[in-house]
Structure 1
Amino acid sequence: MSRKEFGFLLQQYLDGKCSEDERAFVEHWYGIVQNKDREPLQETDFQALEPLLWQQIQSRTQSPKVIPMPVSSPRRQFSYPWMAVAASIVLVLLAGWWFYRQQGGLLTYENEISQEIDHADWQQRTNSSDKAEVIQLSDGSQVRLAPQSSIQYPAKFAADKREIALKGEAFFSVQKMPTRPFYVYTGTVVTKVLGTSFLVKTQATTKQVVVEVATGRVAVYKQTKVAETATATNAIVLSPNQKATYSPENQQFVTGLVERPQVISAEKSVTQPRSFEFDDVPLRRVIVQLEEAYGLTIKLENENQNECPLTADLSNLSLYAQLDMICAATKSSYTVQGTTILISGKGCANL
């Protein structure tokens, strides 16, 4: 059977031009007419599947299992072994395709990690409970694995690198080892660190991968092969309280701030504790203190805002609540633009 003949057979069935024997044979394998739980196949469905079907038929006809069927017409153009193989393969592939549509592409995503990683000595841990599970790694790093998530990793890391594959969500606290970078593979997204703490999670519905940094710096980039561990030229470097979201749909990263930015640890050389109590302090100095506390970039849009005095106690408030109070006191507003916060206003002269 040629590919043209194969396509002709499917088209004859769709057009209702098959003989009774051909129709009964095809319907027997498709399982469509008598199965009310499955959608009727449309012509566009066959058009989309035809290249894949033909490729599979070619790869599986070395020693085909022959399923006999009755002959009713001398005009039949196709040998029955070929038709049996074609119909049986169509049935299997259509069933998988139908399930794929029902699950929204879940099969492809869930198999992505296993396709990329093929190390016989790697072990897998799955958290089937309803609470986070802490996993201690051989290098002293820790993984806080969220419920219904799993990781794959070697019992002992290599001398030059540390690699882990993640499906789901996990918070990593990585031991600092400059000569042994730590890689987390989530589908085609790679997170590379030397020593830091960060969160990696996959959105259940959109399959977007989100990386949020708690401490240190993290490089995030797209990659197709686990073996290629060199940082990509288009890597995005994230600092504390920053995040990057990768969308499989457009294959792009979008940067932003985490939902609740946290105060980062002060340098050891800094002995004076941080204070968020301000008494007639110029706004520019308030901004500097917030930047140092959260490790973020905060800009004033108007130079006239620099010397605006602020008297307020911002202690025990989240960053965004602090910004709300500052803006209320200075008659300004703020927006988050990527990883930068911009405060806009006319300045204190117009208060």
Structure 2
Amino acid sequence: MSRKEFGFLLQQYLDGKCSEEEKAFVEHWYGIVQNKDREPLQETDLQDLEPLLWQQIQSRTQSPKVIPMPVSKPDREFSFPWLAVAATVVLVLLAGWWFYRQQFGLMKSENGFQSEISHAGWQLRTNSSDKSEVIQLPDGSQVRLAPQSSIQFPAKFAADKREILLIGEGFFTVQKMPSRPFYVYTGTVVTRVLGTSFLVKTQATTKQVVVEVATGRVAVYKQTKEIETIDTTNAIVLNPNQKAIYSPDNQQFVTGLVEHPQLIQSAKSEPVARSFEFDDIPLRRVIDQLEEAYGITIRLENENQNECPLTADLSNLPLYAQLDMICAATKSSYAVQGTTIVISGKGCANL
């Protein structure tokens, strides 16, 4: 049986054009491996699996190119050799389909992209619970995997790079290894880091990929067809409290600030105590302190605002609440523009 005839056989079964004997054999083998949790075989599955199945069938026959197939008799007389071949084909089909669904279903993202780095020997971890699960990676890095999310990674990372496949949402804390960059593949988006902590997630409704940085720096790229083909010309570098959103509709990155900016952890061995109590302090100095604490650029639109005195206790407040108090005290307002916060106002009354 040639490859063309093989495809014809499968299509005949799906179209309901097999003889009763052939149909009985197909359903017999399908019934052996089927269980109540398995989806019925569809034409789209055959299209995805046909190359894999043909390769497996060739490896199980003596002839590497053509599988012998008796010619069907006009009266469709029962032919045991033909049915045996058909049964073998169907068994390989169903076994391959089931293995593909279980082991490599993660590799195809919801936007239809198939990663080229999938291969045997990778571990698949899926969080089927309703709580986040912490997964230890081979290099000592960790992933806090959100419910109903999956990752796939090798039992041992390569000597020159570390690669992870993600579907869903995961917060990564990566061990710093400058000679072995860490890559997270999510659909057509690649996140590259050396050592940091960051969040990667795919939004369920819009299919947008969101990357948020907690510490360190990451670069996000658009991946085309293969790992080696990465569009670095439009790479986005993100710093702490910054995020990038990739939309599959327009294939563009949009940068911004995370919803809840956090204080940047000190790189020193001992954490530095930060005070947000201000007594008649010029606004420019207050803003400088906030910029240093959060790693976010905050711009005063009017230079007359620089010397406005501020007396306030901003301790134990999140950044946006701190900005609300500052604006209320200085009769100004603020807006987030990309990764920058702009404070607008006329300045102090005595200027």
Q: TM-score, normalised by structure 2?
A: 0.68
- In the TM superposition, residue 266 of structure 1 has moved relative to its aligned partner by 2.5
2:234 is the alignment partner of 1:234: yes
What is the CA distance between 1:267 and its match in structure 2?
4.0
Q: Which residue of 1 aligns with 2:123?
A: 123
Whether the aligned pair in 2 keeps the contact of 1:193 and 1:217 (CA below 8 Å) is: yes
Q: What letter corresponds to residue 289 of structure 1 in structure 2?
A: Q
Is contact 1:221-1:232 (8 Å) kept?
yes
Does the CA contact (< 8 Å) of 2:327 and 2:334 recur in 1? yes
Question: Residues 224 and 230 of structure 2 are in contact (CA less than 8 Å); yes or no, is this contact kept in structure 1?
Answer: no
Task: Tell me the amino acid that sits aligned with residue 282 of structure 2.
Answer: P
- In the TM superposition, 1:132-211 aligns within 5 A as 132-211=132-211
- In structure 2, the residue matched to 1:12 is none
Corresponding position of 2:288: 288
Q: Alpha-carbon deviations, 1:172-204, whole Å to 9, x = none?
A: 000000000000000000000000000000000
Corresponding position of 1:268: 268
Distance 2:306 2:270 in 1: 25
SS state of the match for residue 317, structure 1?
coil
Q: Which runs of 5+ in 1 are unaligned?
A: 1-26, 30-52, 69-106
Q: How many residues align?
A: 262
* Distance verdict in 2 for CA 1:231–1:215, change over 3 Å: farther
> Could you list the per-position Cα deviations for residues 127-149 of structure 1 after superposition, in whole angstroms to 9, with x for gaps in the alignment?
11111111101101000100000
In structure 1, distance between residues paired with 2:117 and 2:346: 56
Residues 350 and 334 (structure 1), Cα distance of their counterparts in 2 relative to 1, 3 Å cut: farther
Residue 123 of structure 2 contacts residue 154 of structure 2 at CA under 8 Å; is this kept in 1? Answer: yes
Letter in 2 for 1:333: S
For residues 19-73 of structure 1, give each alpha carbon's deviation from its aligned partner in whole angstroms, at most 9, with x where no partner exists.
Answer: xxxxxxxx999xxxxxxxxxxxxxxxxxxxxxxx9xx8xx99x99x99x9xxxxx
What is the SS of the residue equivalent to 2:232? coil
User: 1:278 touches 1:313 (CA, 8 Å); kept in 2?
Assistant: yes
**Unpaired runs of at least 5, structure 2:** 1-14, 18-43, 52-65, 75-106
Q: Which residue in 2 is equivalent to 1:81? A: none
RMSD of aligned alpha carbons:
3.3
What does residue 330 of structure 2 align with?
Answer: 330
- Please name the residue that 1:305 is paired with: 305
Give me the whole-angstrom Cα distance separating, in 1, the residues matched to 2:337 and 2:218.
20
1:296-327 Cα shifts (integer Å, max 9, x gaps): 00000000000000000000111000000000
Hey, what's the Cα distance between the residues in 1 that align with 2:345 and 2:269?
A: 35
Write the mapping of 1:18-37 to structure 2, written as runs, cut at 5 A.
Answer: none
- 1:189 & 1:142 partners in 2: Cα distance? 20
Taking a change above 3 Å as real, the CA distance of residues 115 and 231 of structure 1, as seen in their structure-2 partners, is closer
Q: Which residue of 1 aligns with 2:216?
A: 216
Structure 1 residues 201, 142: CA separation in 2 closer, same or farther (over 3 Å shift)? same
Cα distance change on mapping 1:209 and 1:320 into 2, 3 Å: same
Q: Residue in 2 aligned with 1:249?
A: 249
Paired with 2:111 and 2:276, the residues of 1 have a C-alpha distance of 49
Shift of 1:228: 1.6
C-alpha displacement of 1:108: 7.2
Q: Deviations over 1:132-175 (max 9, x none)?
A: 11110110100010000000110000000000010000000000
Alpha-carbon contact 1:113-1:165 (below 8 Å) kept? no
Change in CA separation of 1:311 and 1:340 when aligned onto 2, cut-off 3 Å = same
Q: Are residues 1:258 and 2:258 paired? A: yes
Amino acid in the other structure paired with 1:116: E
TM normalised by structure 1 equals: 0.68
Aligned to 1:35: none
- Kindly tell me: are residues 272 and 186 of structure 1, through their superposed partners in 2, closer, same or farther at Cα, counting changes over 3 Å? closer
Task: Name the SS for the 1:235 alignment partner.
Answer: strand
CA distance in 2, matches of 1:294, 1:200: 20
